[in-house]
Amino acid sequence: MIRQHIVEVGLTVLFLMGALIAVLMWWAGQYSTTVGTAMMTLILLGTAAGTLIPSILITWLIIGLTTIGSTILLMGYIVMTTPLKLGLLLAFPVCASLSVLSRYILSGWGWIDRNRADINSYAAHYDQVTKLQTRYNAAKIYEKARHFVQTDQHDDQWLDVTAIQWSHSRRIQQFHKWEYHETLRAIAKILKQDRLPSEALYYLEHGTFLIVSFNLTTQTYEYRNRLTRQHLVQLRIGQATPQYKWGAERITTENAASYPELTDVMRHIDRDMETDLIVEYMKGDGVNG
């Protein structure tokens, strides 16, 4: 939030500086060419000094030049109105001060480039809508868990990988983006509330959520799935109820070698989800018939 305000202040300072230069040049243009040239020179010198010279030297330069300018304009015999004299006196120190402030704020924007790698990594590994980790993290935790299932000789280990896909989500995304994001947030909230703290939740993409459950008993796992289904069917998009495809695979010592990576198990789960959708349509036809 603080960095956002810094950017906003920096843009404001740049705007004020540009507006001030435009006003001063317009004002000086109302007088003679000599006055306009003097004003332009002072503005250029002030901007250049504030941009290139260290701040502590700028302070002494402003004091010295303002003193000399005051002596020449205010005490000397120069036919010029007092407002114009003050304008010429203030042009250099004001432009120099605004340039120093702009340089200070713009140099602070360097955090954007310095942290760009971290920002990109965060965006790639953490979904901003659902507030869940993404496929990269899911693949890492799956590989680690599968390794334990395959190599642990002390106890029997198993791993349940469950995917829930919101059907027709891309259509909603294209025409109703706000409703799409709200529904994704609602689904993520249900998963966070209904799944156990020991289960890992991820958002892959295109309305697909992944649940990684380690060593849950069949009874507990099935109960959590039923509870999740009950709450998901209560969601609404306007007057419509979202449809979901479910797919799951249990990774055990016997089949762990067949699914070395998350992409391998997801191919099997995708087939399960397609079958699940066909079954749901058949149930709907049976009810309607």
Q: What is d(CA 74, CA 236) in angstroms, rounded to the nearest whole number?
A: 76
For the residues 64-75, what does the mean pLDDT come to?
A: 71
Residue spans of beta strands (DSSP E) within 144-288 = 159-166, 200-205, 208-214, 244-251
Asked whether the predicted pLDDT for residue 16 surpasses 90, the reply is no
Q: How confident is the model at residue 118 (pLDDT cuts 50, 70, 90)?
A: low
Q: What is d(CA 162, CA 246) in angstroms, rounded to the nearest whole number?
A: 7
Helix, strand, coil percentages (3-state) for the chain, rounded to 5, are: 70, 10, 20
Q: What is the mean pLDDT of the chain?
A: 79
- Joined together, the tokens standing for residue 127 give 């979904």
* Residues whose CB falls within 8 Å of the CB of residue 97, separated by 6 or more in sequence, listed in order: 50, 58, 62
Instruction: Identify the burial level of 215 via C-beta atoms within 10 angstroms of its C-beta, where 0-12 means exposed, 13-18 middle and 19 or more buried.
Output: middle
In the chain the domains, ranked by start, together with CATH numbers, are 2-112 (no CATH), 129-288 (3.30.70.270)
Asked whether the predicted pLDDT for residue 153 surpasses 90, the reply is no
For the residues 245-260, what does the mean pLDDT come to?
A: 91
Instruction: For 176-223, write each residue's pLDDT tens digit.
Output: 888 889 999 999 999 999 999 999 999 998 899 999 999 999 999 999
Instruction: For 156-176, write each residue's pLDDT tens digit.
Output: 889 999 999 998 888 888 888
Tokens 């391998």 sit on residue: 264
* Residues whose CB falls within 8 Å of the CB of residue 231, separated by 6 or more in sequence, listed in order: 190, 193, 194
Q: What is d(CA 72, CA 77) in angstroms, rounded to the nearest whole number?
A: 8
Q: How confident is the model at residue 286 (pLDDT cuts 50, 70, 90)?
A: very low
Asked whether the predicted pLDDT for residue 247 surpasses 80, the reply is yes
- % of the chain exceeding 90 in pLDDT: 31
What backbone phi and psi angles, to 5 degrees, belong to 201?
-110, 140
- Of 248, 251, 250, 264, the closest CA to residue 148 belongs to 251
For the residues 113-121, what does the mean pLDDT come to?
A: 58
Task: Name the pTM for this structure.
Answer: 0.58
What backbone phi and psi angles, to 5 degrees, belong to 28?
-65, -30
Q: What is d(CA 91, CA 47) in angstroms, rounded to the nearest whole number?
A: 10
For the residues 245-257, what does the mean pLDDT come to?
A: 91
- % of the chain exceeding 70 in pLDDT: 80
Tokens 């407002």 sit on residue: 83
Q: How confident is the model at residue 285 (pLDDT cuts 50, 70, 90)?
A: very low
**pLDDT value, residue 213:** 94
**pLDDT value, residue 225:** 95
**pLDDT value, residue 159:** 92
- What value, to the nearest 5°, has the Cα angle with vertex 43 and ends 42 and 44? 90
Instruction: Identify the burial level of 112 via C-beta atoms within 10 angstroms of its C-beta, where 0-12 means exposed, 13-18 middle and 19 or more buried.
Output: exposed
**pLDDT value, residue 201:** 96
